[in-house]
Homo-oligomer: A and B are copies of this chain.
Amino acid sequence: MKNTTPVRWNNCLVQDNFLFPRMKTAHETTIPSSVKRCYETGRIEAFKHNWHEGMPNKPHIYWDSDVAKVIEGMAFDLVLNPDSGREKQMEEIISLIVSSQLEDGYLNSYFAHIAPDERWKIIHDNHELYCAGHLIEAAVAHFQATGRRNFLDAMCRYADYISTVFGREEGKLRAYPGHQELELALCKLAQATGREKYWQLAAYFVDERGTEPNYFREVEGMRPEGKGYHSKPFSVDYAQAHKPVREQSEAVGHAVRAGYLYSGMADIARKYNDTALLAACEKLFDDIVEKKMYITGSIGSELVGESFGKPYALPNATAYAETCAAISLAMFADRMLNITGDMKYADVVEKAIYNGILSGISLSGDRYFYRNMLETNPRTTYVTQRQLWFNTSCCPTNFCRFLPQLGSYLWSESEEGVRLNIPAQSTFSSNGIRISVKGNYPYDGKIVITFESAGEFTFACRIPGWCRSYQVKLNGSVERINGNAPEWRRAWQEGDCIELELDMPIELVYSSTDVIEDIGKAAICRGPLVYAVEVCDVNEELWRYVIDRTSLHLTPVNGLPGGTYGISGRALREKKRGDSLYTTVAPEYEEVTFTAVPYSLWQNRGPSTMQVWMRY
């Protein structure tokens, strides 16, 4: 099935024990605590345009995006939890945002008030169009959730104004976002409003990017260095503006910008049936997945620049692997999945969600990783504990909006029928179709899919890429399956039942020999889950362990949610040697056991260190 759409977020009720608890925590903790932080830090007050020197909480250029993502999350969550009593608060914030819009449509709490002379002056770095994009996404979510148009209309005015500033016409700036995001937001706005002009504006931003004369060329190297991990001299490839996007085939530069851009490119490619643009998306995706993606679905290995590294440069301890980058990859992959129906994209969506995204937030829902390293150790000087908040809080606020939407990643639909992409326990209801999925995914590969309504349509499901052996039964009879997206077109009866038995052995996964950092090491995986050995489960230095590949078995884990499976096994542990830094005495080993836990759940039992890739 091609040309599907993700199911509307509230048409899939997630009911499993792995994803749903995170959605529940998002509702109970992540969203309200983020709203609170937005108030406390002045992010919401900023829309009052009343800050002056001497006051605390001076507004910042990307604060609007944080508030927008929280609003977006509140809107999605409101539909899932209609009795939360937060609607009033959400509407108040939205009213404040809308009231801050200037006469001409411009809306930015920083540049409208703090630095009005800089409006549209430092486009490569000032995040104005990025903030606009997130505000638009929030407005669309608010409209979808409530049917109210006040925010949407304001954002249409903003988009209309932006279209008077940017474009190829005489007198307009032939620029495009320095931090991409607006492209995909405009596509959403176009879909929500049915207005073609927003598609065209999005397409302009996509198409204009990287063309000659290059709008950003003259600001290359202009960014002051060293203000943080992301700060290196601005370069056109850092912002994926080094060549026209259709000519890009290698993922380079800032990984979050890349993921959002590629998502927007996919939206435009789909809208205009633009095969050249889609081909670029496919090439970029393949480049990421074949050369630049961590086994956890995280991307952006380079600390400096928060960017993609060279092919196969995937250091574990110094990984950047920003939470937002993994989210942006899931967004991109989900779009490609729905355009092409190719299950390889669903594999990446799943990999990212179950590993590199959920690792970014604590089970408590209020502590976050910016960087999702694959190995932490006591020698490093980096922060390796989840933090309550960040000055640059894109990651926490991304969870506010991503978690309530999780259901939409599980199912796709089209006029033809529906497809189960990720077989987590859930109930799908849309267009009169109602299907339930039961099972203990991702810990168990046995899935029971029950049709709870009658009707003729195509049902498809995914055989995950990690699964090499499976059986599928339709109403008790074994089905012969070709490919990894079996589909059945029939008049379904209430009570029809498809059973998936996805063999889910414990497996060791090896990196390509091109990945220097993983040579001689293996990652323990089972189903969609990557496992990590956490120091609290072994009480000795992780790097001294050499695991025995033949001894791995499932085990319960203390201190993690009931139902969590760990993986235990035997290992040789290098004995601690004496005080000498260097010695000719050959290492000795002792036989020990070890336990690994799902990577996304690490560091939920106090400060800890962790290692994904283990010597074997």
A520 touches B615 (CB 8 A): yes
Q: Which of A57-65, A309-317, A438-446 has 4 or more CB atoms under 8 Å from chain B?
A: A309-317
Contact digits for A230-249, partner B, Cβ 8 Å, 1 yes 0 no: 01000000000000000000
Inter-chain contacts of A295 with B (CB < 8 A): 582
Q: Give the residue name and chain of the B residue nearest to A288 (CB).
A: B581
Tell me which of A91-99, A386-394, A410-418, A583-591 binds B: A583-591
Specify which chain B residues have a CB less than 8 angstroms from the CB of A516 in the assembled complex. 377, 379, 541, 543
Interchain nearest-CB distance for A159 vs B (Å):
37
Inter-chain contact B582/A509, CB cutoff 8 Å:
yes
A290 touches B513 (CB 8 A): no
Contact of A381 among B291, B310, B523 (CB under 8 A): B310
Inter-subunit contact B227/A581 (CB<8 Å)? no
- Give chain A interface residues in 503-527, CB to chain B under 8 Å: 507-516, 519-520, 523
Contact (Cβ within 8 A) A544 B519: yes
Residue contact A585 to B225, C-beta cutoff 8 Å: no
Q: Are A509 and B584 in contact (CB under 8 A)?
A: yes
Rounded to whole Å, the gap between the CB of A488 and the closest CB of chain B is: 30
B581 and A291 form a contact (CB under 8 A): yes
Contacts of A380 in B (CB 8 A): 313
In the complex, the answer to whether B512 meets A541 with C-beta atoms within 8 Å is no
Q: Chain B residue with minimal CB distance to A525? A: B584
A325 to chain B, nearest CB (A): 17
Binds B, one of A20-28, A185-193, A204-212, A571-579: A571-579
Are A512 and B583 interface neighbours, CB within 8 A?
Answer: yes
Contact residues on A (Cβ < 8 Å of other chain), bracket = 35 or more
Complex contacts, A508 vs chain B, CB 8 Å: 584, 586
CA distance A209 to B353 in the complex (A): 53
Contact between A587 and B510, CB atoms less than 8 A apart: yes
Q: Tell me, in angstroms, the Cα distance from A615 to B576 when the chains sit together.
A: 18
Q: Are A586 and B510 in contact (CB under 8 A)?
A: yes
Which one of B513, B549, B577 lies within 8 Å of A577 (CB-CB)? Answer: B513
A381 and B510 alpha carbons, distance in the complex (Å): 24
Q: Is A293 an interface residue (CB 8 A)?
A: yes
Chain B residues closer than 8 Å to A378, beta-carbon distance: 310
Contact indicator B581/A515 (Cβ below 8 Å): yes
Taking the closest CB of chain B, its distance from the CB of A230, in whole angstroms, is 12
With a cutoff of 8 Å between Cβ atoms, the chain B residues found around residue A291 in the complex are 581
The answer on a CB contact under 8 Å between B541 and A313 is no
Is A19 interfacial (CB-CB < 8 Å)?
no
In the complex, the answer to whether A577 meets B520 with C-beta atoms within 8 Å is no
Tell me which residues across on chain B come within 8 A of A313, comparing CB atoms.
379-380
Question: Are B513 and A581 in touch, CB under 8 angstroms?
Answer: no
Residues of B within 8 A of A511 (CB): 581-582
- Give bound CA distance, A224 to B226, whole Å: 8
CB of A290 within 8 A of CB of B581, answer yes
Q: What's the Cα separation between A584 and B523 when bound, in Å? A: 10
- Closest beta carbon of chain B to A507's beta carbon, Å: 5
- For the complex, is A406 an interface residue (Cβ under 8 Å from B)? no
Cβ of A597 within 8 Å of any chain B Cβ, yes or no, is no
**Is A255 interfacial (CB-CB < 8 Å)?**
no
Interfacial residues, chain A to chain B (CB-CB below 8 A):
224-227, 231, 289-291, 293, 295, 302, 309-310, 312-313, 318, 377-381, 507-516, 519-520, 523, 541, 543-544, 546, 549, 574-577, 579-587, 615
9 more A-B residue pairs beyond the given contacts A225-B227, A310-B381, A523-B582, with a C-beta to C-beta distance below 8 A: A290-B580, A290-B581, A512-B579, A512-B582, A512-B583, A515-B581, A516-B541, A519-B574, A549-B586
Closest 6 CB pairs of A and B: A226-B226, A225-B226, A313-B379, A519-B543, A516-B543, A507-B584
- 19 pairs from A and B in contact (CB 8 Å cutoff): A225-B225, A225-B227, A289-B581, A290-B580, A290-B581, A309-B381, A507-B584, A509-B582, A509-B583, A510-B577, A510-B585, A510-B586, A511-B581, A512-B577, A512-B583, A513-B577, A519-B544, A519-B574, A520-B574
